Structures are given as structure tokens and as C-alpha cells.
Amino acid sequence: MNRKVKNKQILRVKRQHQRWWRFLQKFTVGVSILFTIWLFFTTITVFFASSKPVDAFFVLGGSIKREMYVAELAQKYPQTPILISSGSQDPCIWLIFQRETAPTEKVWLEKCANSTFDNFYYSIPILQQWGVRKVKLITSTTHLPRAKLMAQILFGSHQIWVEPDIIQEKGIPGNREYWWKTGLDVTRSIFWAGVSQVMKPRCSKVIKLNQVNLQEWKNRGFKCEHQGNLKVVSSK
């Protein structure tokens, strides 16, 4: 009797395992099909976006040279919105645009990011709100290939075509690129590319450049990178 009971228990367990295994197989196949369909339509959308005009300029903070460059672009393309993610101090960017007589009405400063990953983490929802389908990514040679790979993964997953615009830097770079750093950020980007389809983080520190109070900053005191060649007058 004991053997028969044990055999029945073993058979019951086997059947349960078989059911779970069949369920997992079906679930995996279903997810794979949905992912393939999503990837197909995303690729098609991004491909068509590549032939359209640039909808926005996106600047990765880290060098005042990038902000100097985008100010020149703002002169040529005054209707194109600009998003600068954790760039130089607000008054420094304001002074650059004033020197170049570039319009500031369509320039936004995002100040939540503390890393390259954060640049995309906080900025993608903003660009999506603007209805961007093609973005010009402005960064430096010292930021490659990490920034470009992350942009292609994260923007691409949201049907946004990336057009890198790489500027040359002078002197010693403020950041160092390592293979493990690139690997870590690319891995995080692949994970976030999926999660960000449902999660939309918001940055509470986004202001328009034309709202920067220069006098208030002068009272507080501020410094700009020497490469900017800006004359900063402080009341202190």
C-alpha cells in the first residue's frame, strides 16, 4: 500500500511539474512573439523617423563647449527646441546665449541628472512630451562610445532616431571612459529600455533659460568654465 501511495504522489508531482513546464513554454513563446512584434514596429518607426528633420537638440552636460555649440545652432534653427541635461551653471548658459545673440525662448534646462544614465532617464519623458521623433545628440569625443550606445538603445526603444553631433574638446577631459563603465551603462540601458515603456520618471527641476535670474546669481556668486571665455561679474 505504501508503495502505491508513494507512486501516486510521485505521479501527481510529475504532472504538476509538466503543467508548469507547459505553462512556462507557452508564456515564453507568447512574450517572444509580443517582443518581436514590438521590435518590428519600433524598428520601422525609427527607420522612417531617420529621414525627417531634427525635432530637438539634446545636450549632455559635462562641458561648456557643448553649450557654446548648441547656442550657435540655436541661431541657425531658432524654432528647434533645446534640452540641456545637467549642463553648466544656469547663468553661464544664459551668458553664452546672450553673447551669441541666440534665442532662449525654446531652451530648457534639466537639473535632476547626476550621471550619463540619468541624463537619459529624466530627459526621455520630456522629449516624448514634445513629440520628438528625431533628436540631435550633442556630446564630445571624450564621451564615446558610451553615450552614443546608450542613446541608440534608449531613444531607439521609444521610436526616436538619434543623430549624434560630436564636438572636439581641448585640454584634459573631465571624465574618463573605461570598458567596464561602458558595459555597466549599456546593460542598465537595455534593462531600462523595457521598464521605461511603463515607467515615466519626472524631473522637478526643469526651467526655461529665459527665466534665469542673472542678478540673483550674481548676488550668490558663480563660476564658469574658463573655456567659455565669459566675463563674470559678481557683486560679492
User: Is 23 part of any domain?
Assistant: no
Specify the pTM: 0.82
- Bin 229: left if φ > 0, else alpha if -120 < ψ < 50, else beta: left
Residue 103 per-residue DSSP state: -
In a domain, 137, yes or no: yes
Residue 42 domain flag: no
Cα–Cα distance for residue pair 182/188, rounded to 1 Å: 10
Contact 117, 186 (CB under 8 A): no
Q: Quick count: other Cβ atoms within 10 Å of Cβ 21?
A: 10
What are the mean pLDDT values of the chain's consecutive 10-residue runs (236 residues total)? 63 76 77 63 65 92 94 96 96 96 96 96 96 95 90 93 89 69 94 92 95 92 89 58
pLDDT at 135: 97
* Count of the separate structural domains present in the chain: 1
Whether 18 is in a domain gets the answer no
| Residue 6 in domain | no
Sign of the alpha-carbon torsion through 80, 86, 90, 93: negative
Integer-rounded Cα radius of gyration of the chain: 25
Quick one: how far is CA 171 from the chain centroid?
26
21 in any annotated domain: no
State the pLDDT at residue 28.
Answer: 76
Domain of 118, in residue numbers? 56-228
- What CATH number has the domain bearing residue 202? 3.40.50.620
Q: Is residue 135 part of a domain?
A: yes
Instruction: Look at residue 13 and tell me if it is in a domain.
Output: no
Q: How far apart are CA 67 and CA 161, in angstroms?
A: 22
